[in-house]
C-alpha cells in the first residue's frame, strides 16, 4: 500500500481550514462524479476524493492523519512520500460513511470511530510525533543583532481518551544573527508528542519580518528611501542617515537625480557575505503655503529656463 497525500488529492495546503476542505470537496466532486464527468479515470478519482474528504473533514481523524502520517515504521509495504522519513501500514480497511475507504492504519490503530485511547495502542508500536509548523514575526533589528524572544503557542494534543485539545505554552527562542524571511528555526522535541515510546516531533518556526517604518529588505540587502532637498541633490551635500546599526554620515554626490542609489557596502544583514545597505534618493519639494514661499518658487520659475517635458516633444 502506498501512502496517499490527502491534501494533494484535494489541492489543499496542510493549513487549510475546515471550510476550505468542504469547498474543495464540493468543487472536485462535481468535476469527477462518474455520472457527469468526462475526465479520464473519473470514477477512481471520485473514490479517492471521497477517501480523502472522509478523513480531512473530521477534525479528530484529520489530527490523527497529520500526527501519525510521518515518521512511522511498522509495516514492510508502506511507502511514505519523499519528504517523510518512515511509514507504516496495517492490513484491513474501514469503510467510511461517505463511501471512501480509509487508509488502513486508521482502522487498525484507531478503531472504526477514528481514535483509540493511548493505553490501547497495540503493543510494540512506536510513533514519532509529527513536526509542528508555525510562523513568527521578528523585527529587522533582531536579525541584525541577534535576540532572544518569548513566544506563545497553542498546539493540538490528544488526551488519554484520544480527544483533541489545545495546549498553551510559552517558549524562549534564540534568534540567530542574519536569519532571513522564509528561513526556519528548528526546536528539537517541541513538536507534537509521540505515542508509546515514540519521540516528540520538532517545532519548525518560519521567520517573517515585521514591516519597518524606515527600511525595506530583499534577501540580505536593506533599502532606505531617503528624502533630500533639491539643492542637496543638485549641489551635493554631506548628511546624516539612519541605519539599523546607528547614524552614519553620507556624502550626496553633486548632480544626483531622483532615484539615485547609494551603497553602504556590508551594512545589510549579517551573512558569510554580508548584505549591503542602499540609500535611494527621493527629492522632496518644500511646501509653498506662505506668500514668501510662493514668491521664492516664482523667482525660480523666472530664473530657470527649464522644461522637464522637452524630451516628450511638448
76 shares its domain with 112: yes
* Residue 126 included in any domain: no
* Residue 177 included in any domain: yes
Residue of 160, 165, 90, 156 whose CA lies nearest to 129 = 156
* Residue 273 included in any domain: yes
106 shares its domain with 152: no
Beta-ladder partners of 207? 136
Number of domains observed in the structure of the chain:
3
* Model confidence band, residue 90 (pLDDT cutoffs 50, 70, 90): very low
Q: What is the CATH number of the domain that holds 41?
A: 1.10.287.110
pLDDT of res. 157: 63
* Residue 74 included in any domain: yes
Q: What is the CATH number of the domain that holds 158?
A: 2.60.260.20
* Model confidence band, residue 125 (pLDDT cutoffs 50, 70, 90): low
249 shares its domain with 179: no
pLDDT of res. 88: 33
pLDDT greater than 60 at residue 306? yes
Q: Which tens digits make up the pLDDT trace of 145-197?
A: 999 999 887 766 666 665 666 778 888 999 999 999 999 999 998 887 777 77
197 shares its domain with 230: no
* Model confidence band, residue 120 (pLDDT cutoffs 50, 70, 90): low
* Residue 215 included in any domain: no
Domain that holds residue 54: 6-116
Label each residue of the chain as H, E or C. CECCCHHHHCCCCCCCCHHHHHHHHHHHHHHHCCCCCCCCCHHHHHHHHHHHHHHHCCHHHHHHHHHHCCCECCCCCCECCCCCCCCCCCCCCCECCCCCECCHHHHHHHCCCCCCCHHHCCCCCEECCCCEEEEEEECHHHHHHCEEEEEEEEEEEECCCCCEEEEEEEEEEEECCCCCCCCEEEECCCCCCCEECCCCCCEEEEEEECCCCCEEEECCEEEEEEEECHHHHHHCEEEEEEECCEEEEEEECCCCCCCCEEEECCCCCCCCCCCCEEEEEEECCCCCCCHHHHHHHHHHHHHCCCCCCHHHCC
Please say which residue of 116, 147, 177 terminates a domain. Answer: 116
pTM across the whole model: 0.57
pLDDT of res. 206: 93
92 shares its domain with 62: yes
Please say which residue of 147, 178, 209 terminates a domain. Answer: 209
pLDDT greater than 90 at residue 253? yes
pLDDT of res. 146: 92
* Model confidence band, residue 114 (pLDDT cutoffs 50, 70, 90): very low
79 shares its domain with 170: no
138 membership: H or E segment, kind and range? strand 132-138
Please say which residue of 116, 141, 167 terminates a domain. Answer: 116
140 shares its domain with 38: no
185 shares its domain with 285: no
* Residue 256 included in any domain: yes
205 shares its domain with 274: no
Mean pLDDT value across the chain: 79
Cα atoms in the Cβ-side hemisphere of radius 13 Å centred on 241: 25
199 shares its domain with 274: no
Cell numbers at 238, concatenated: 554631506
248 shares its domain with 292: yes
* Model confidence band, residue 1 (pLDDT cutoffs 50, 70, 90): very low
Amino acid at each position: 500500500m502506498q501512502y496517499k497525500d490527502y491534501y494533494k488529492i484535494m489541492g489543499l495546503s496542510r493549513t487549510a481550514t475546515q471550510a476550505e476542505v468542504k469547498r474543495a470537496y464540493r468543487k472536485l466532486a462535481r468535476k469527477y462524479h462518474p455520472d457527469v464527468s468526462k475526465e479520464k479515470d473519473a470514477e477512481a478519482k471520485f473514490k479517492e476524493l471521497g477517501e480523502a474528504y472522509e478523513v480531512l473533514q473530521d477534525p479528530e481523524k484529520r489530527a490523527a492523519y497529520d500526527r501519525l502520517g510521518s515518521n512511522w515504521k511498522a509495516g514492510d509495504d508502506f511507502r511514505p512520500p519523499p519528504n517523510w522519513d518512515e511509514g507504516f501500514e496495517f492490513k484491513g480497511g474501514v469503510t467510511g460513511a461517505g463511501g471512501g475507504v480509509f487508509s488502513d492504519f486508521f482502522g487498525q490503530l484507531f478503531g472504526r470511530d477514528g481514535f483509540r485511547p493511548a493505553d490501547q495502542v497495540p503493543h510494540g508500536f512506536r510513533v514519532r510525533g509529527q513536526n509542528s509548523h508555525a510562523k513568527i514575526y521578528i523585527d529587522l533589528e533582531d536579525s541584525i543583532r541577534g535576540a532572544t524572544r518569548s513566544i506563545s503557542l497553542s498546539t493540538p494534543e490528544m488526551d488519554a481518551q484520544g480527544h483533541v485539545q489545545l495546549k498553551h505554552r510559552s517558549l524562549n527562542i534564540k534568534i540567530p544573527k542574519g536569519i532571513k524571511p522564509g528561513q526556519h528555526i528548528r526546536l528539537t522535541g517541541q513538536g507534537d508528542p509521540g505515542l508509546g515510546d515514540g519521540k516528540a516531533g520538532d517545532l519548525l518556526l518560519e521567520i517573517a519580518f515585521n514591516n519597518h517604518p524606515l527600511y525595506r529588505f530583499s534577501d540580505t540587502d536593506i533599502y532606505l528611501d531617503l528624502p533630500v532637498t533639491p539643492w542637496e541633490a543638485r549641489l551635493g551635500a554631506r548628511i546624516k542617515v539612519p541605519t539599523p546599526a546607528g547614524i552614519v554620515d553620507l556624502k550626496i554626490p553633486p548632480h544626483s537625480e531622483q532615484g539615485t542609489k547609494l551603497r553602504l557596502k556590508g551594512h545589510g544583514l549579517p551573512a558569510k557575505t554580508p548584505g549591503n545597505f542602499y540609500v535611494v534618493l527621493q527629492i522632496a519639494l518644500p511646501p509653498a503655503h506662505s506668500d514668501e514661499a510662493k514668491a521664492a518658487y516664482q523667482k525660480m520659475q523666472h530664473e530657470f529656463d527649464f522644461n522637464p517635458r522637452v524630451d516628450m516633444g511638448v
